[in-house]
Amino acid sequence: MDNILSGSFNFRLSFDKTSSKEEIIFSSISGITMVLDSEKMNRNGSNSLKPNISSIKYSNLFLKKGLARKNSVAVIWFENSLGSNFKNSKEVKNLTLQLIDIDGTPLKQWQFINAYPVNWTISVDQDFVAIESLELVYGAIQ
């Protein structure tokens, strides 16, 4: 618990059916938000208003300051989704995001279902891609 309070933690993003070499560590995240979309409805002529729950909306997931291998499954997926062939490649993936302490021990985990990237800011060197920011849309959180 002391590591959480001192800020010595990161976030590990992994993809279903990939090795640990495919994981990306990010220093910050935001956007794990669910909003219940509802409105008050008068039902059956009653004077009392009751909520009508229509859907759950999710905000986009934002990840910052990550590092990935240039030829990793993640980078290839991001490039295919956001590159010049983006109209032909709308592949969704299930992702796992873990809050990890300084030793890499998972403290909390979220699964994002049917996620795909919509924006990223990067710099590339010979072997790695430094991800300044990554924005993902997703269909559900588990």
How many CB atoms neighbour CB 95 within 10 A? Answer: 20
CATH number for region 2-39+54-141: 2.30.110
DSSP 69-132: ETTSHHHHHHHHHHSTTGGG----EEEEEEEEETT--EEEEEEEEEEEEEEEEEEE-SSEEEEE
Portion of the chain with pLDDT greater than 90, in percent: 52
> How confident is the model at residue 4, as a pLDDT?
46
Residue 69, C-beta contacts closer than 8 angstroms, at least 6 positions apart: 21, 22, 75, 127, 128, 129
Domain ranges for the chain:
2-39+54-141
The span from the CA of 113 to the CA of 140, in Å, is: 5
Cβ burial of 7 (10 Å; 0-12, 13-18, 19+) is exposed
pLDDT digits (tens, 9 = 90+) for 22-38: 799 999 999 998 888 77
Give this prediction's pTM: 0.80
pLDDT digits (tens, 9 = 90+) for 56-105: 889 999 999 999 999 888 998 898 888 766 566 678 999 999 999 999 99
